[in-house]
């Protein structure tokens, strides 16, 4: 029998519900079922679901369950693929480049950090870049992966310009701060 883990997550304040408590495993499984319905295999669907639930549990709702509809819409439209792994297009010593083929970045970035950790253990440093991925989620996930392997992890992302600056007509402004995360093996951020 597994231990019940509950999480209190923010809800819709405008609806009169500021938060509710959920069984985390049940929430992950229900979310994974949505992604299986959208075409992902069970294991990657659970990885995506766990990442979204974890973001909400950390108080980062912008990278949590609110993304389900966007992810599913993009999967159904075909602008995001159901690929589970990226292709390695360059692998030279401590450096690699992956092509995600428009897959979910939550999946391909796990792969990238795994490769970076392996390279770091062999060469002293591992630098891996992923191109053509869709939304890699919270950067904390990848630096935790490196720290768990005894490495210093650095994760960063970019995005296309999303909106015009105040008074401008053309989109060229990135609305988010650069998501750069680092974590040492001792767990300090």
- Residue numbers annotated as active site: 135
Long-range contacts of range 143-146, CB-CB < 8 Å, 24 or more positions apart? 143/181, 143/182, 143/183, 143/189, 144/183, 145/110, 145/113, 145/114, 145/117, 146/113, 146/116, 146/117, 146/120, 146/183, 146/185
Q: How far is CA 163 from CA 74, 135, 137, 183, in A?
A: 20, 17, 20, 31
Q: Tell me the torsion sign for CA atoms 2, 4, 10, 14.
A: positive
Of 46, 52, 41, 63, give the one whose Cα is nearest residue 7. Answer: 52
CA 149 to chain centre: 19
Task: List the structure tokens of 106.
Answer: 């939550």
DSSP label of 67: G
DSSP label of 13: G
What's the length of the chain? 189
CA-CA distance, 91 to 161, in Å (whole number)? 30
């Amino acid at each position: 029998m597994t231990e019940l883990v509950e999480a209190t997550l923010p809800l819709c304040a405008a609806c009169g519900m500021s938060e509710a408590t959920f069984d985390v495993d049940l929430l992950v499984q229900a979310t994974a079922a949505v992604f299986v319905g959208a075409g992902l295999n069970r294991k990657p669907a659970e990885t995506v679901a766990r990442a979204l639930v974890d973001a909400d549990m950390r108080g980062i709702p912008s990278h949590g369950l609110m993304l389900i509809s966007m992810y599913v819409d993009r999967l159904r439209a075909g602008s995001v693929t159901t690929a589970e792994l990226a292709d390695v297009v360059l692998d030279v010593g401590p450096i690699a480049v992956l092509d995600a083929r428009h897959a979910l970045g939550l999946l391909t970035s796990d792969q990238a950090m795994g490769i970076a950790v392996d390279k770091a253990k062999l060469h002293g440093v591992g630098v891996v870049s992923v191109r053509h991925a869709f939304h890699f989620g919270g950067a904390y996930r990848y630096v935790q992966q490196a720290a768990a392997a005894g490495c210093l992890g650095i994760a960063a992302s970019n995005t296309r310009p999303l909106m015009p600056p105040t008074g401008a007509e053309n989109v060229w402004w990135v609305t988010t701060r650069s998501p750069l995360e680092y974590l040492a093996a001792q767990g300090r951020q």
